[in-house]
């Protein structure tokens, strides 16, 4: 195998190995970044936790045993899901985010105070790796 072929193969393998680490090639600026949001009693998990500014689509799933929702607060944003999400169900929320830190909580009762909160960081760099 030539050194050029080995370099190309190494690059493909390296980029392929980045996906499990949450690193992906940049997407199209007009296509929303899809973030996985998992709701469970005592937890809100968002992946990836760092995205570039622009349109994002929250793909929300309730893996808990109680109804939950999502409330997003940050620079210029104060949005929440229209209805509570029953266990096992999905919901989607599309937002346009600017650089800064956003807090995602469950707005139902005292769920946020019981740990159902997390943060999402949005960077100004559109050239960062995206999913």
* Confidence at residue 125, expressed as pLDDT on a 0 to 100 scale: 76
Helix, strand and coil in the chain, % to nearest 5:
15, 45, 45
Provide the token pair at 125.
């760099």
Is it the case that residue 55 has pLDDT exceeding 80?
A: yes
**pLDDT (average), residues 10-16:** 48
Confidence of residue 71 (pLDDT cuts 50, 70, 90): very high
Architecture of the domain defined by 25-123: Sandwich (2.60)
Q: pLDDT tens across 84-123, in order?
A: 999 999 999 999 999 999 999 999 999 999 999 999 999 9
Is it the case that residue 17 has pLDDT exceeding 80?
A: no
Whether 98 and 76 have beta carbons less than 8 Å apart is answered as yes
Is it the case that residue 75 has pLDDT exceeding 90?
A: yes
Provide the token pair at 6.
């080995």
**pLDDT (average), residues 36-54:** 96
Question: Residue 59 in 3-state DSSP?
Answer: strand
Give the pTM. 0.75
Cα 48 to its chain centre, rounded Å, is: 5
Residue ranges with strand state E in the chain: 33-40, 43-47, 50-52, 54-62, 71-74, 77-80, 90-97, 100-105, 117-123
Q: CA 77, CA 32: separation in Å to the nearest integer?
A: 16
Residues of the chain with pLDDT > 70, as a percent, come to: 73
């Amino acid at each position: 195998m030539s050194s050029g072929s080995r370099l190309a193969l190494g690059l493909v393998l390296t980029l392929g190995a980045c996906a499990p680490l949450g690193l992906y090639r940049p997407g199209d600026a007009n296509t929303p970044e899809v973030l996985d949001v998992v709701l469970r009693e005592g937890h809100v998990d968002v992946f990836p936790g760092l995205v570039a500014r622009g349109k994002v689509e929250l793909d929300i799933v309730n893996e808990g045993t109680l109804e939950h929702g999502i409330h997003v607060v940050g620079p210029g944003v104060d949005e929440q899901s229209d209805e509570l999400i029953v266990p096992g169900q999905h919901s989607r929320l599309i937002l346009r985010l600017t650089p800064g830190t956003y807090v995602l909580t469950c707005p139902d009762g005292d769920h946020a105070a019981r740990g159902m909160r997390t943060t999402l960081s949005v960077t100004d760099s559109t050239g960062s790796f995206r999913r």
